Amino acid sequence: MDPGSFRCKLDPKLTEKDLPFFIPDIQGTWGSACGRNRGVFVVQPPDGHTYDCGNMPADWGVSNAADIANLTKTQPSVALKAYGNFVDAVYNTTIGKTAAACDFDGLTVLTCGREEPWRTAPWYDQLKAPIRAVNIGGLFVLERWIVPTFTSWGDDSGIRDQHSFSEKCGELGTDAGLYVILDLHGAPGSQNGLDNSGLTSPDPNEIVWGETWMYSPENNGNTVRILAAMAEYINHIEDSFGLDNIMALELLNEPWAHLDLGRVRDFYVTSITAVRLVRPLMPIIIHDSFRGPMWATLMKNFPYKDIVMDTHIYHGFNPADLSSDTAVGDRQKMYVHERMACSYTSMLRYQTCAVLPVMVGEWSLAVDNCMPWLDSKFADFGQCDHLAEREGSSWWSEHTRSFAMRQIDRYEREMGWAFWTWKLEDHLEKNEPASKYWSFSMAVEHGFIDLDFPNDACVHPPATDWAEPLGTDGSGSGGDANLVAAQAPSGVTARVDGNAAAAVGVSHSPEEAQRGSQEGASSPGAMLGLVLLGAMAGALATFLLVRRKAASQGASSSASGGAEKGGGHRGGGWMPAVFSSGYDTIGQQSLP
């Protein structure tokens, strides 16, 4: 879209009634906003004057920035109008409308004509809401996938026939009223060198990870052929088994952040072309390679319709996000992440306006990397020293809920979200306290996630009580330490028999994690969550299930009517989805 049509406005939810709650935020804005553009701003149309935070236009009703903060309590309507004028003027004075140009501590929103883009998604008639999703699990497939005959390997191979298993999973999804988004999670040669691709790079120089995929014509070409084969398989199961619930295909998970982004774009263009030769109307999702704003120039004159950009937002992997070595530092860290959750609206809105409608395909409630076997590059900064304080603490329960709902609030302004993951292995959920930050089902049980999905979490800033010592009951100021429990409706529980769910690459033991990585490096296999697709040269794939009908609406509706080959989705309403993944753990288990 043309950046000239973008406008930076105060969030419509910021009303006169709520404005006083944001006095600290407004005061904090001046330090950055007043310093932009040499500290000056102009108005449009030009009036022959140059202004700054100490000299504001006379018709704004305030003389300087301090007046706006002072008036929030005495004359909120004047303060609100003046602050809106200030935001508009600073934004319009800024050259180069990047994602940061409309970043005013989460109090603003970029408008461009793509507000609530989920309402214009190809699947809107089916979902009537943003995508709401959770991860389930993944499986290694070691056999080659023969196209187009879809050869059955039978029982002699010692591995369950991936085709009949995937068809069975599709049937289970249809019976439960679920839609599916297929995701190629690992490409031949590994697109990122991470364990989540099935092949961990041994190279200590992380800058070159993923180059074994990008600069190999064979690996790159095979990845495109795999995607075309996946599209053909969608046609096969739809035509042969009447399974019409596959709504989109994600081309590749997390191409490495240091790869040549132009080459990633070219791979996407080639793959989209190949997929749509097989399935012309297929909605397609592409990952932003963790460089969302940079796609604005790369996507100029992008000719394809029904393409969605996927981005992944975690708060527990970078040292700046996870580091803290005191109990107070842990609580301060959580408060900062609550604020960050609402401020992400600037980046996400910019991606939707300047690039493509965006969804957050992975996120969690973790603010550290203390989950066992989560981070193969784990470094001890003291972040795991005070985890016991969180157990039974109403302070941590309340702030974790705030953190969860603030993320959902912002993500649902765009195309939606997929939580990582639905559940963990049973022994982890029973024995690892951090499990509830990675397991959606546990997060619901602990009251962290409100299944009514209210969209007002960012209307008020988070409580600034992180410095207060916790009471003996775990609260910030005394009080009930019991966690608020929320009963998950039965309709949310959607998992495959045998529990193929494994979060964040968690294995049964370090030995299994290592073995899974080694086998991923040596086996010409593919991996897919629930629906199993073999690959010609080795790949890993996952997929998303989306409920057709909410639990409160009664039993799930069945598919009806015909559809052209395309999205392959029809009928029903919305409900949480399942964005599946889970790597080496499942490769070591026998299939159910």
Q: Is residue 416 part of a domain?
A: yes
Q: How far is residue 393's CA from residue 556's CA, in Å, rounded to a whole number?
A: 38
Q: How far is residue 501's CA from residue 488's CA, in Å, rounded to a whole number?
A: 18
Q: Is residue 592 part of a domain?
A: no
Q: Is residue 142 part of a domain?
A: no
Coil vs helix vs strand at 250: strand
277 & 364 share domain: yes
Q: What is the DSSP string of 323-371?
A: ---SHHHHHHHHHHHHHHHHHTHHHHHHHHHHT--EEEEE--S-SS--S
106 & 159 share domain: no
Cβ neighbours around 227 below 10 Å, total = 28
**In the chain, helix, strand, coil percent, each to 5?**
40, 10, 45
- Cα 75 from chain centroid? 39
Which residues are bridge partners to 249 per DSSP? 182, 284
Task: Show the domain range for 43.
Answer: 3-111
Q: Is residue 398 part of a domain?
A: yes
300 & 442 share domain: yes
481 & 370 share domain: yes
93 & 15 share domain: yes
Cβ neighbours around 221 below 10 Å, total = 14
CATH number of domain containing 229 = 3.20.20
The residue ranges of DSSP E strands in 151-306, in sequence order, are 178-186, 246-250, 284-287
Cβ neighbours around 360 below 10 Å, total = 25
Residue type, 55: N
Q: Is residue 420 part of a domain?
A: yes
393 & 527 share domain: yes
154 & 90 share domain: no
299 & 220 share domain: yes
Burial per residue of 475-504, b for 16 or more beta-carbon CB atoms within 10 angstroms, e otherwise: bbeeeebebeebebeebbebbbeebbbbbb
pLDDT of residue 117: 96
Q: How far is residue 516's CA from residue 540's CA, in Å, rounded to a whole number?
A: 13
Q: What is the DSSP string of 482-542?
A: PPPP-PPPGGG----TT--B-GGG--SSHHHHHHHHHHHHH---EEESSS----SS-EEEE
73 & 202 share domain: no
Q: How far is residue 41's CA from residue 35's CA, in Å, rounded to a whole number?
A: 10
pLDDT of residue 153: 45
Q: Is residue 418 part of a domain?
A: yes
Task: Look up residue 279 and give its two tokens.
Answer: 């399935």
Q: Is residue 437 part of a domain?
A: yes
Q: Is residue 137 part of a domain?
A: no
The model's pTM: 0.78
Residues in the chain: 592
Residues 6+ apart with CB under 8 A from 418: 131, 133, 134, 135, 359, 360, 361, 362, 363, 544, 577, 579
- Cα dihedral across residues 187, 188, 189, 195: positive or negative: positive
102 & 251 share domain: no
H or E element in which residue 9 lies: strand 7-10
Over its length of 592 residues, how does the chain's per-residue pLDDT go in tens digits? 777 789 999 998 888 888 877 777 777 777 778 889 999 999 999 999 999 999 999 999 888 888 887 888 888 899 899 999 999 999 999 998 888 899 988 889 999 999 999 999 999 998 899 998 776 654 443 334 333 344 444 445 444 455 665 666 667 667 777 777 778 888 989 999 988 888 888 999 999 999 999 999 999 999 999 899 888 888 888 887 777 888 899 999 999 999 999 999 999 999 999 999 999 999 999 999 999 989 998 988 888 999 999 999 999 988 888 899 999 999 999 999 999 999 899 999 999 999 999 999 999 999 999 988 787 778 889 899 989 999 999 999 999 999 999 999 999 999 999 998 888 888 889 999 999 999 999 999 999 999 999 988 998 889 989 887 776 667 665 433 222 222 222 222 222 222 222 222 222 232 332 323 333 332 222 333 332 222 223 444 454 555 444 333 332 222 222 333 344 332 222 233 333 332 222 222 222 2
207 & 334 share domain: yes
Number of structural domains, the chain?
A: 2
- 504: left (phi > 0), else alpha (psi -120 to 50), else beta? left
CA-based nearest residue to 590, from 61, 139, 88, 136: 139
316 & 184 share domain: yes
Cβ pair 559, 494 in contact under 8 A: no
Cβ neighbours around 460 below 10 Å, total = 13
